[in-house]
Structure 1
């Protein structure tokens, strides 16, 4: 595949993707700013795993730094770019809006410019199921309108898709956006519900369940997410003109499990894997949250043969096993 630049390489998805590609013999240039949105030691522990490969090169760098990103692209000349660096979290965007503008808008512009000026062959970037916002039609399909975001985080992710479209149109850069649906698994993000639920249950503390548990999520195991990304890396969109249409080198896909689970059922499975019943605190729906996500993945299955293979029971077992091992509990 040539040199692959992965931003957010110390993050949850970036780490697993880098690890898999390194195992496949690829050369990875990793970038991460190691910010303190959550425990930096977890990010550093992920990096320690990646440093075991001689094909991994790492730069501690913020993608919002225009000059440093331009310098990185000029020096490294990557063939492929996978942009997973972003300020994540719906609730955090309610109180820290400027961090989302800096990372998700300014930073993404810098990535697009780097791709433009160094002739990158394909840009793959993280979007989110959050872009579907207040949509009520289920399941979510990529052809649905996505102009009703209910959080700034969602708005920045939709903006990324529009920005990528513009660069595909103006400069012919092949871009593929990935709308991830509630990714979970070992080495995950501590701010995610399943992670905080596990910590609270083991500590004997109550877990906070919003919307009184009346929520459904298309929980997607990390290995399935990584498989979907890898299938798409070398399948860059084509710029094709026909008699009736002009197709830009631009695509968006949902990557989800295509099987939403009720939050209460999810918690019951987690309780079984931990072996402890949770004390539950039922709360109203929080601002910026949606009641249900459900991915239509027909396009991805048709174009790549992708099929998620990990059930919730198996995925949560793997996570709980990792959690007990990592935290020695």
Structure 2
């Protein structure tokens, strides 16, 4: 198939594109190469993908409606996987406009392309942050998600709702997936694992929020990418065709649309995560305990039964294994 993937120079987009190309698909990548973090890391990711004849890349911002429309029209994709976004919970406190421009306007522009020339399946990335301050665990896709704690979460919830309206109005099969704390090789420098590893390797203090009293459903990147590739083949059907099965398959009652959690289904204490990094590096961290940050939540925990029911796959890479692989990549990337 011809698959258009946005954000292919990003952490998740890079890994998803690699899996798609390895499976024999033609991937047309789009990335804006924004300076949110080290652009050299993004270009290294793209350079690896460009070694394959099955991958081509376009550098543009999704906010550029004309440029995006030209690439989309030429690509004529069978599937679209939308992973480009302004990410980061804390950054949304400092630069909220970036989330409106990229996550809302950029996504709208892509959805208009999809409306004009619908693919077989439109897949769009969301986040566990949409569950906001929910305390019922694990998080199930049908749980309330109307009380986001940050503009980042609000922007991703908005894209889910926008996509549902287009799926209903234009009969576009659509899947939105909610990520849970993704980590692994080629990860983003603003994420906890990268920052913790950098601090421990360099012998500088690491900031541990809420005094370490937190837990996250850490999801290894290979598991996440595999889940997305499998979900791409699980195309939502019109729920009116089999209303008795719609709820079981996670379908909206009004559109060929569903939301699916992608997580490990096993939350890990933040302090245990840090200990795994210390063991992989072979030295202790200098710990700087800090209070909870605005917009943060004490725990996340995904119910992944819908993902398993639809695809037969369940992420299961242990944190100790995933952290060791990241540390090995980090040492290799920085020649340590």
Q: Give the TM-score, by structure 1 length.
A: 0.98
Matched, 1:216 2:223: no
Q: CA deviation at 1:243?
A: 6.8
SS at match of 1:86: coil
| 1:8-33 alpha-carbon deviations (Å, 9 max, x no partner) | 00000100111111111110000000
SS of 1:137 mapped into structure 2 = coil
SS in 2 for 1:67: helix
Give the alignment's TM-score, normalised by structure 2. Answer: 0.96
Return 5+ residue gaps in structure 1 as ranges: none
Moved over 6 A (4+): none
Q: CA deviation at 1:72?
A: 1.5
Distance in 2 (CA, whole Å) between partners of 1:109 and 1:164 is 9
SS at match of 1:52: coil
CA contact (8 A) 1:83 1:126 kept: yes
1:325 — aligned with what?
332
Within-5 A mapping of 1:186-197: 186-197=185-196
CA contact 1:254–1:296 (8 Å) conserved in 2: yes
Alpha carbons 1:238, 1:247 under 8 Å: kept: no
Partner of 1:239: 238
The 3-state SS of whatever aligns with 2:326 is helix
Please give the alpha-carbon distance, in whole angstroms, between the structure 2 residues aligned to 1:64 and 1:159. 16
Query: Relative to structure 2, which stretch is displaced further, 67-76 or 135-144?
Result: 67-76
Decide whether the 8 Å contact of 2:141 with 2:259 is kept in 1. yes
SS of the equivalent of 1:251 reads strand
1:250 aligned onto 2:257: yes
Distance 2:67 2:275 in 1: 47
SS at match of 2:34: coil
Aligned position for 2:225? 226
Is 1:166 paired with 2:165? yes
Deviation at 1:248, TM superposition (A): 1.6
* Cα separation, 1, equivalents of 2:78 and 2:62: 18
* Greater mean deviation of Cα atoms: 174-183 or 236-245: 236-245
- 1:45-96 deviations in Å (ceiling 9; x for gaps): 0011001101111000111111111121112111100000000000000010
Cα distance in 2 between the residues matched to 1:119 and 1:271: 48
What is the aligned partner in structure 1 of residue 65 from structure 2? 66
TM superposition shift of 1:303: 1.1
- Aligned equivalents of 2:161, 2:20: Cα separation in 1: 28
1:262 lines up with 2:269 in the alignment: yes
Q: Deviations over 1:237-261 (max 9, x none)?
A: 0013157885521010000000000
The 3-state SS of whatever aligns with 2:237 is: coil
Q: Distance in 1 between matches of 2:254 and 2:4?
A: 26
Structure 2 residue runs without a partner (length 5+): 247-252
- Matched residue, 1:135: 134
1:36 aligns with 2:35: yes
Q: Does structure 1 residue 312 correspond to structure 2 residue 286?
A: no
Cα distance in 1 for partners of 2:272, 2:4 equals 38
> Which residue number corresponds to residue 143 of structure 2?
144
Q: Give distance in 2, aligned partners of 1:313 and 1:261.
A: 11
Q: Distance in 2 between matches of 1:261 and 1:117?
A: 44
Q: Quick one: distance in 1 between partners of 2:243 and 2:140? A: 27
Matches within 5 A, 1:281-320: 281-320=288-327
